[in-house]
Structure 1
Amino acid sequence: MNGLEAAAVFAAGVAAGGINAVVGSGTLITFPTLVALGFPPVTANVSNNIGLVFGSAAGAYGYREELKGQRARLARLGAGSLAGTLIGATLLLGLPPGAFKVIVPVLILVALVLVVVQPRLNVWLAERREHPHPHGGPWLWAGVLAAGVYGGYFGAAQGIILIALLGIFLNDDLQRLNGVKNVLAFVANGAAAVVFIAVWAVGGTEIDWIAALLIAVGSTLGGLVGASAGRRLPPAVLRGIIVAVGVTAIVNLLRA
């Protein structure tokens, strides 16, 4: 990469880190940037995932106040995210590229619908649940596992899917749930990165470490700034941003 290209990757990392902390879908900025610069898709996806681990960590750290009192919930759901991500990362390295191309926009669309109807759906569910499960029960765990599979494979809009699931199955403040989403995204990115690096070490895939480093530094800065801004947003505004980013993600994926 020349200086201008490196600056573009760094800037994309900053933007992705900020968007991931607030909503998710930062991959839809960094991944297309790398592909546009000539990186092979799998190399771009792997390098991007490794770089975004640090941004995910920064976003989770920025929500540390909202995460207080949620240790048991995080441990339970984090196990599901970890298991799913390992499956998804394995699929990325073993299946033909583009296998999820048709499914991905559908998943994002379903997640957006769930985010929009979440308040009414929560009321409907609360009227029928005598004893709500503090951690969402087995259905939420299964959903987080499935989101982890998707996140390990590609990861774009994983945050939107997670926040939709958390909002439906957990009776809690949206900002606290966003903090949980950031931790689960960090688990997913981190687990996938470990798999990719292990496979790279034996010559099974390629990683562009310069690109990964630029995204890592940029997404860390973006994650800290995004978390600071996102924590101040009212629930209605946060939902609006989620929907706007999700629709943009669908449009970009259909154009790809």
Structure 2
Amino acid sequence: MTGWELVAVCAAGVVAGAINAVVGSGSLITFPTLVAMGVDPVTANVSNTIGLVPGSFTGAYGYRAELSGQRERLLRLGLASALGALIGGVLLLFLDPDVFQIVVVVLIALACVLVVVQPRLNRWLADRREHASPHGGLALWLGVLAAGVYGGYFGAAQGVLLIGLLGSFLDEHLQRVNAAKNVLALIVNGVAAVLFVLVADVDWQAVAGVALGAIAGGFLGARMGRRIPAPVLRGVIVTVGVAAIIVLVYG
């Protein structure tokens, strides 16, 4: 990888880190960039996941105020994310990359619908929440597990999936949902990264470029995202989700 290519990867990492902090789907920026630089797609996916971990951390840290009071919830859901990421990472290493193509598109579309109808769905679920678990119950746990599998396998738009799930099952402000999403995405990327470092081929130049950019992007994204009103943030999430579907379907 030449110096200019490394600069391009780093720039893509800045954008991806910012997008991940606000919504998710930053991999739709960095992954194609790495492939365009001649990195094998599977190696690019692996290296991209590892490189985005520092950016996921800075993004989660930027939302630390909104994480207040969510410790027990995140411990419960974090276990589902970790287990899902491990399963997804193993699938990436052993299955045909086209296996999840249709399922991924359907999941992102469903997440976008959940984000749009979230306010109305929240009102409909209000009576049930009075007697339900404050952590979303088994249904949310299983949903987060499935999102973790997807995130460990590819990761692009896992933030959209998580926001759709958390926003629908939790009686929380969207910014607190987004903060929880950042922590769960960090867990998914972190667990998958450890697996890939141990058993997969890694392009460490690509990792370094993505990581350097993502660290700065995570901070910037968190600063911007915390100031975005909920309706606007919801619109951004859906826009990114639709863009993800278009990219995945039409390449």
Q: TM-score range by the shorter chain?
A: over 0.9
1:128 Cα deviation from its structure 2 partner: 3.9
1:31 Cα deviation from its structure 2 partner: 0.3
Conserved 8 A contact 1:28-1:249: yes
Matched residue, 1:249: 244
Check if 1:131 corresponds to 2:131: yes
Post-superposition Cα deviations, 1:84-117, rounded to whole Å, max 9, x if no partner, equal: 1100000000111221112211111110001000
Matched residue, 1:195: 195
Matched residue, 1:180: 180
Structure 1 Cα separation of the partners of residues 120 and 187 of structure 2: 30
Check if 1:226 corresponds to 2:225: no
Post-superposition Cα deviations, 1:104-149, rounded to whole Å, max 9, x if no partner, equal: 1111111000100010011011134441321010100000000000
Conserved 8 A contact 1:18-1:224: yes
Matched residue, 2:164: 164
Structure 2 Cα separation of the partners of residues 131 and 231 of structure 1: 30
Matched residue, 2:18: 18
Structure 2 Cα separation of the partners of residues 38 and 98 of structure 1: 20
Structure 2 Cα separation of the partners of residues 216 and 130 of structure 1: 43
Conserved 8 A contact 1:126-1:132: no
Identity %: 65
Give the SS at the match of 1:43: helix
Structure 1 Cα separation of the partners of residues 214 and 96 of structure 2: 28
Structure 1 Cα separation of the partners of residues 132 and 96 of structure 2: 41
1:189 Cα deviation from its structure 2 partner: 0.2
Structure 2 Cα separation of the partners of residues 142 and 252 of structure 1: 27
* Structure 1 stretches lacking a partner, 5+ long: 200-204
Check if 1:209 corresponds to 2:209: no
Post-superposition Cα deviations, 1:35-74, rounded to whole Å, max 9, x if no partner, equal: 1111111000000000000110010000000001111011
Structure 2 Cα separation of the partners of residues 40 and 98 of structure 1: 15
Q: How many residues align?
A: 251
Structure 1 Cα separation of the partners of residues 128 and 46 of structure 2: 43
Structure 1 Cα separation of the partners of residues 201 and 84 of structure 2: 23
TM-score (norm 1): 0.96
Matched residue, 2:64: 64
TM-score (norm 2): 0.98
1:250 Cα deviation from its structure 2 partner: 0.8
Matched residue, 1:36: 36
2:47 aligned partner, one-letter code: S
Structure 2 Cα separation of the partners of residues 129 and 16 of structure 1: 35
Give the SS at the match of 1:224: helix
Matched residue, 1:86: 86
Give the SS at the match of 1:249: helix
2:221 aligned partner, one-letter code: G
Structure 1 Cα separation of the partners of residues 107 and 130 of structure 2: 30
Matched residue, 1:120: 120
What's the Cα RMSD here?
0.8
Relative to structure 1, the CA distance from residue 240 to residue 121 in structure 2 (aligned partners, 3 Å threshold; closer, same or farther) is: same
Matched residue, 1:202: none
Which contiguous aligned blocks of 4+ residues in structure 1 show a shift greater than 2 angstroms?
127-130
1:42 aligned partner, one-letter code: V
Matched residue, 1:147: 147
2:69 aligned partner, one-letter code: G
Structure 2 Cα separation of the partners of residues 34 and 98 of structure 1: 19
Conserved 8 A contact 1:84-1:148: yes
